[in-house]
Every structure is written in structure tokens, then in C-alpha cells.
């Protein structure tokens, strides 16, 4: 379970930043992953939706090893609070 999670997260993060060229703040530590888009990007949003779906399925398959907590903010919410 954990290797599948790491692989999916790295693939998504690298695709968003290196392939799409999206401006994003990414951090991974102590088993937690955070990716914050600094600008609206529909392709990156779709990749994140796909990652969320994949992680949810992994958490159902490996409930003892994988827990998923998603926190979502829209771009407009982040900008209006800045």
C-alpha cells in the first residue's frame, strides 16, 4: 500500500510541476503530502482529482496502512483570504 501511494503521489506532483509547468508548492514529510497550486490550472486540478480517487481506492484496499484526508480550497478562496 505505501509504495503505491508514494508512486502515485510522486507521479502526480512531477507531472503537475515538470510536465504541465504549473506553479505549485509541494511538501512531503512524515508520511504527509501537500500540494498547493498557486494559480488556476484545469489540467492540474484534473490530475489531483484522479490522484484523490486513486488514493481513496488504495485506502479501501489497504485500510490498515493507508488513510486519506483531503483538504480542498478553491483558487478564489485562497486569493480572497491573502
pLDDT digits (tens, 9 = 90+) for 66-78: 888 777 655 444 4
Those residues with Cβ within 8 angstroms of residue 64's Cβ, 6 or more apart along the chain or in another chain: none
Give the C-alpha separation, 75 to 73, whole Å.
6
Cell of 51: 490522484
Q: What would the pLDDT profile of 38-82 be if each residue is shown by its tens digit?
A: 888 999 999 999 998 998 899 899 888 888 877 765 544 444 444
Amino acid at each position: 500500500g505505501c509504495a503505491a501511494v508514494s508512486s502515485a503521489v510522486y507521479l502526480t506532483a512531477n507531472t503537475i510541476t515538470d510536465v504541465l509547468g504549473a506553479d505549485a508548492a509541494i511538501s512531503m514529510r512524515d508520511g504527509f503530502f501537500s500540494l498547493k497550486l498557486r494559480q488556476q490550472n484545469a489540467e492540474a486540478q484534473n490530475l489531483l482529482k484522479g490522484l484523490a480517487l486513486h488514493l481513496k481506492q488504495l485506502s479501501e484496499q489497504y485500510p490498515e496502512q493507508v488513510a486519506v484526508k483531503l483538504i480542498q480550497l478553491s483558487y478564489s478562496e485562497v486569493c480572497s483570504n491573502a
